Amino acid sequence: MAMETNSDRLMSDINVTPFVDVMLVLLIIFMVTAPMMMQGVDVALPEATAKPLDSQKENLVITVDKDHQVHINDFAVEPDYLREKLAGILANRSDREVYFKADKEVPYGIVAKVMAEIKAAGVEKLGMVTIPDEKDARRETKK
């Protein structure tokens, strides 16, 4: 009579250790690379004494960086086509409100030209974005 041994049977268990190792490596990779994927336009804003505005909606922001490149939100636009692009975007929006950011190193003439193009596109409200002046912020906290 032949006796069956356990070594003759196939093992049907799944080894999850390599799966967990791979998943942990992927998690670490995504955690490291996710902050690098956040892009925006790097602008050194001038300081001002105005109070910040509260807003819950997504705003349309026109930015001029230190290299005089014009951006609508995060998308680069040729300055010559800013009026047409902006007019096309505003045609689909109920509010005609735009915020404008310019690097403090950009000459005033370029800022004025871009502002004129924004207004010519049909913008009703144009807000300037600045960073709070630290001296005024310290003065208000002392009160």
At a CB cut-off of 8 Å and minimum separation 6, what does 46 contact? 104, 130, 131
Per-residue pLDDT of the chain (143 residues; tens, 9 = 90+): 555 555 667 777 778 888 899 999 999 998 888 877 665 656 666 666 666 555 556 778 899 988 889 998 888 888 888 889 888 888 888 788 888 988 888 898 998 899 899 888 888 888 888 777 666 555 555 55
* All domains in the chain, ordered by first residue: 6-37 (no CATH), 47-137 (3.30.420.270)
Which of 126, 118, 127 shows the shortest CA–CA distance to 87? 118
Predicted structure pTM score: 0.56
